[in-house]
Amino acid sequence: MKKTIGVIFGGKSPEHEVSIESAKTVCDRFEAAGFRAVPVYVPRAGAWRLPALKDLLAGRPLKGPEIEPALGRGCFVKKGGGTFRPDALFPIIHGSTGEDGVLQGLLELVGIPYTGCGVTASAVGMDKVISKELAALDGAPVLPHVVIRAHQKKDLGPLLKKAARLGFPLFVKPVAQGSSVGITKVKRAGDLRAAVLNAFRFDTAVIVEKGIDRAREIVCGVLGSHEGARASVCGEVVPKGAHEFYDYEAKYLDDNGMELRLPAPLAPATAARLRELAVRIFLALGGSGLARVDFLVDPKDERRVFFCEINTLPGFTSHSLYPRLWARTGLKPEAVLKRLVVIAERSMAARRRLTTARK
């Protein structure tokens, strides 16, 4: 009998539309891999729904019965009667509430195996500051940066001066957002304040990070768990046209916004080092299932590599980086999805075996 996989998508983040596109690809690939894919739509407001797969794939309005998660019962309750009890769940909600541990915590309480990182790793991975600090503790090189919290907005002057002393260019980012939302490249001090205030539109904390002039953006996929993880080949993201870096527009709105070089044209020793770092960072943050780890490489000296960020719920559209990295490594999307379901089931079983007794 086919296993039923609920694909949770949508959400309340700025990446809502990206999530819908990822869900289309994931559902299609799960069906091709021999599973029964059931879309679970989370609108920006209102109740969750079970739209028809054919409507999702055809781009029609996402309707269907309303559902609510049944805590501790391993299922969802349908409005009007009945339940939806999948064998596993595949969350593909990008950004806030989807890959920051919020959704993962809910799924833990429901009690259904789900793919990807757990609560802690998702929360840590979403936070660009904490993830850098943990990666650095494990020996990964990171770039100098300044963090500005919401309570410091009233007196930005000293912090802006501190950030400017890092040297330009600087990259100003919301601490907990994905898909390059709210990121600005700043080339001079006069533009720094506006960039910080713009980033505060998306989060309550901002990181100002030292940039590398003409830095090479290298990405690497990781698949596995604490029982064993492996890295894909490295890819190099080359922004095209007016894009100075791999921003939201280059990712999703401009079909010619970037070129992905597979494998990345790196010295063998550099590629091996980055793959080893990707797995080490993934495990140091408690990763499980999948992640994409991004690095910056100095174009003048390949030995100068820096951990940029980890994406614990990378996109899964037909042109997304993660599935393309694994395809070039020799693993088709269907094989990746099958492996993720196995890891999800093993991880949930392991957590259930943990004792809840005091002694």
Euclidean distance between CA atoms 131 and 136, whole angstroms: 8
Euclidean distance between CA atoms 232 and 243, whole angstroms: 26
Set 114, 246, 252, 322: catalytic member = 252
Among left, alpha and beta (phi > 0; psi -120 to 50; other), residue 11 is: left
Set 98, 315, 320, 322: catalytic member = 315
- Check if 294 is active-site: yes
How many CB atoms lie under 10 A from the CB of residue 34? 10
The residue type at 203: D
> How many residues appear in the chain?
359
- Are 291 and 117 a contacting pair, CB within 8 Å? yes
Residue with token string 């920006």: 44
Distance of CA 304 to the CA centre of its chain: 25
Q: Exposed, middle or buried: residue 101 (CB in 10 Å: 0-12, 13-18, 19+)?
A: buried
Set 311, 320, 322, 324: catalytic member = 311
Set 22, 122, 179, 232: catalytic member = 179
- Check if 224 is active-site: no
- Check if 252 is active-site: yes
Closest CA to 218 of 200, 199, 229, 233: 233
Euclidean distance between CA atoms 40 and 21, whole angstroms: 14
- Check if 311 is active-site: yes
Helix axes 157-164, 192-199, angle to 10 degrees: 110
Euclidean distance between CA atoms 87 and 79, whole angstroms: 21
Set 292, 320, 322, 324: catalytic member = 292
- Check if 292 is active-site: yes
- Check if 256 is active-site: no
- Check if 315 is active-site: yes
Set 294, 320, 322, 347: catalytic member = 294
Strand ranges of the sheet holding 36-42, from the earlier edge strand across to the other edge: 83-84, 75-78, 66-70, 48-49, 36-42, 4-10, 88-91
Set 6, 11, 15, 127: catalytic member = 15
- Check if 249 is active-site: no
- Residues catalogued as catalytic: 15, 179, 252, 292, 294, 309, 311, 315
